[in-house]
Amino acid sequence: MNAQSPIVSEFPTAEEAAAYEQWLKAKVAASLADKSAPVAHDEVMSEMRAIIEEARRNTAC
């Protein structure tokens, strides 16, 4: 186990940093290869606001 300085990396070991980098690269590659239509930011935010508001109504006492 190679301990890493928190100044250099947020991961405790080089192995964890490498695993995260591999995971991230795979996610980016999958996203770039995705041919589905993009969703506008405003549309996503509108949907999320509705979900949050519904959750608030359901948990209000």
Confidence (pLDDT) at 6: 60
Element (H, E) at 22: helix 14-33
Q: What is the number of other CB atoms lying within 10 angstroms of the CB of residue 39? A: 9
- Does 46 have pLDDT greater than 60? yes
Whole-number pLDDT of residue 58? 93
List the beta bridge partners of residue 13: 3
Which H or E run contains 44? helix 41-59
Between the alpha carbon of residue 7 and those of residues 4, 11, 22, the distances in Å are 8, 10, 21
Q: What is the pTM of this model?
A: 0.56
Rounded Cα–Cα distance for residues 36 and 26 (Å): 18
